Amino acid sequence: MHKDLREVLLTAEQLDAGVKALGARISADYAGRTVTLVGVLKGCLLFMSDLAKSVTLDTRMDFMMLSSYSGQHSTGVVRILLDLKESIEDCDVIVVEDIVDSGLTMEYMLQNLKTRRPRSVEICTLLDKPSRRRAQVPIKYTGFQIPDKFVVGYGLDYNGIYRNLPYIGVLSEAAIEGNKTCR
């Protein structure tokens, strides 16, 4: 375990099994169709890569980057930093997100993507932290429900660090206060 973590919440093996199960469900639900996975950068990176490998359908991949977080806290205001490259009109879209917390990011995503007239839009999140929900968004695919703890690893960061950890863990208070940077 990384020395900045207090505990490991989900091991690499648990993540692998959970992501494969999601891929199998998506493959069955959309059988015979082409799905468009829309990843929300940067948190989706490792999850999207593993999920896509578990989906046995023709699959398109595109990305958006949104901003609403600063450190551990959501600012509540969502802005698009990077938009989709391709049209999603008449496509079966699945939004691939690392974690749904307040739900404000996904509420914004759904509203925004629906204006582009896709055939369908669903949400697939690796983690769900339901205790802090402010916007009730319909989540079709959830990997794991987790308690109200700030987690890092497997794509999730704290000030840009820890995304490469192959498991998900809870940061120690010392690491939060230490506030590491690139130096």
Alpha helices in 30-168 (DSSP H): 45-54, 104-114
Which region, judged by CB under 6 A, interacts with ligand 5GP, from 2-10, 12-20, 28-36, 156-164?
156-164
Backbone angles phi, psi at 177, to 5 degrees: -70, -35
* Closest C-alpha among 26, 59, 61, 21 to residue 40: 61
Number of residues that bind ligand 5GP (CB under 6 A): 21
Cβ 131 to ligand 5GP, closest distance in Å? 11
Site residues for ligand 5GP, 4-33, by CB under 6 A, read none
Which residue's CB is nearer to ligand 5GP, number 102 or number 172? 102
| Out of 39, 103, 118, 169, the residue judged to bind ligand 5GP by CB under 6 A | 103
Q: Which residues contact 70 (CB under 8 A, 6 or more apart)?
A: none
| Out of 5, 26, 105, 128, the residue judged to bind ligand 5GP by CB under 6 A | 105
Task: Please state the separation of Cα 34 from the chain's center in Å.
Answer: 21
Structure tokens belonging to residue 101? 């917390």
CB 170 within 8 A of CB 151: yes
Which residues of this chain interact with ligand 5GP, rule CB under 6 A?
40, 43, 68-69, 74, 97-105, 129, 150-152, 156-158
Active site residues: 101
